[in-house]
């Protein structure tokens, strides 16, 4: 019987990720690898993954992703091989008024496969602020707002920078987040969110419009989970570019 995938999960490994500016940053990835093996292939050989990974310590990068998968595929004589790696990624941001600089952390994932679908997905996750339009409309003062998380998955045949995906997300919410704000900055973000009320549906729609306008994204999906400040549960919205194109064609 054909076993679809055999692999390893939950490997932690130091990697270097190329930054948009030309430099690279050190981070720690959580990695899974799997391969589709022919029936005659002896088991136990999944240590091949670990061995290839350990030879890659010095210069792991996005381009290396595909090389590693190809090595795994050839080393195991596999029909196909896949890998996912999730890692924290840091971007230096300037506060909107004072310009104070601080580091923001985002969670990103590279996932891809060779030998089968041969595709690469980049996932960027960014925290944002959502401010409720309904609450603003009906209340004499204030409006409930909260932290939300946007998850954007994109497929591309070109190079798309994490920095650009994060910027795309951050421009699509009531306001973006910062690690460090001075008083004039706090005034700015409070008022910006208040003047820019958005439901989770509004946020995914704005993310989708921006992603469709990006020349190098050929597929995407986007989800927004808002950790409501007035409820214990989350509000959630999700969009997939396949559905949008199907609707536009209809």
When the beta carbons of 44 and 157 are compared against a second copy, the nearer one is 44
Per CB under 8 A, which of residues 38..77 are in contact with a second copy?
43-44, 46-47, 50-51, 54, 57
When the beta carbons of 158 and 232 are compared against a second copy, the nearer one is 232
DSSP state of 41: S
| 115 in contact with a second copy (CB under 8 A) | no
In our burial notation (b when 16+ CB lie closer than 10 A, e otherwise), range 197-215 reads: bbbbebbbbbbbebbeeee
| 238 in contact with a second copy (CB under 8 A) | yes
| 117 in contact with a second copy (CB under 8 A) | no
| Residue 89, φ and ψ in degrees, nearest 5 | -135, 135
Looking at 66, 161, 201, 214, which residue binds a second copy (CB under 8 A)?
Answer: 201
Between the CA of residue 55 and those of 35, 71, 222, what are the distances in Å?
19, 11, 35
Alpha carbons 239 and 243: distance in angstroms, whole number: 8
Could you give the dihedral angle defined by the CA atoms of residues 20, 21, 26 and 32, in that order, rounded to the nearest 10 degrees?
10
When the beta carbons of 157 and 243 are compared against a second copy, the nearer one is 243
| 91 in contact with a second copy (CB under 8 A) | no
Alpha carbons 204 and 173: distance in angstroms, whole number: 9
Residue (of 169, 123, 173, 147) closest to 226 by Cα position: 147
Neighbours of 44 (CB within 10 A): 7
Contacting range for a second copy; rule: CB under 8 A; set: 58-66, 67-75, 152-160, 182-190: 182-190
Provide the minimum distance between the beta carbon of 196 and a second copy in the complex, in angstroms, as a whole number. 10
| 103 in contact with a second copy (CB under 8 A) | yes
Contacting range for a second copy; rule: CB under 8 A; set: 58-66, 67-75, 153-161, 175-183: 175-183
| 147 in contact with a second copy (CB under 8 A) | yes
Between the CA of residue 205 and those of 102, 177, 208, what are the distances in Å?
29, 20, 5
Provide the minimum distance between the beta carbon of 50 and a second copy in the complex, in angstroms, as a whole number. 5
Considering CB under 8 A, how many residues would be counted as binding a second copy?
96
| 154 in contact with a second copy (CB under 8 A) | no
């Amino acid at each position: 019987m054909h076993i679809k995938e055999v692999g390893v999960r939950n490997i932690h490994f130091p990697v270097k990720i190329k930054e948009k500016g030309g430099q690279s940053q050190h981070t720690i990835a959580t990695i899974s690898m799997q391969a589709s093996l022919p029936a005659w292939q002896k088991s136990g050989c999944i240590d091949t993954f670990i061995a290839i990974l350990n030879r890659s310590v010095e210069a792991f990068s996005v381009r290396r992703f595909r090389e590693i998968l190809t090595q795994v595929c050839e080393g195991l004589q596999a029909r196909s091989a896949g890998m996912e790696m999730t890692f924290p990624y840091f971007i230096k941001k300037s506060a909107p008024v004072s310009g104070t600089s601080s580091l923001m952390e985002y969670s990103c994932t590279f996932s891809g496969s060779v030998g089968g679908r041969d595709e690469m997905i980049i996932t960027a996750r960014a925290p944002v602020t959502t401010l409720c339009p309904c609450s603003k409309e009906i209340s004499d003062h204030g409006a409930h707002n909260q932290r939300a998380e946007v998850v954007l998955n994109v497929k591309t045949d070109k190079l798309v920078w994490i920095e650009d995906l994060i910027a795309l997300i951050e421009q699509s919410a009531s306001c973006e987040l910062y690690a460090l704000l001075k008083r004039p900055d706090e005034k700015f973000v409070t008022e910006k969110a208040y003047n820019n009320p958005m439901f989770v549906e509004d946020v995914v729609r704005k993310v989708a419009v921006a992603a469709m306008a990006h020349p190098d994204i050929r597929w995407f999906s986007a989800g927004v989970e808002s950790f409501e400040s007035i409820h214990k549960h989350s509000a959630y919205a999700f969009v997939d570019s396949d559905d949008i194109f199907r609707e536009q064609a209809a």
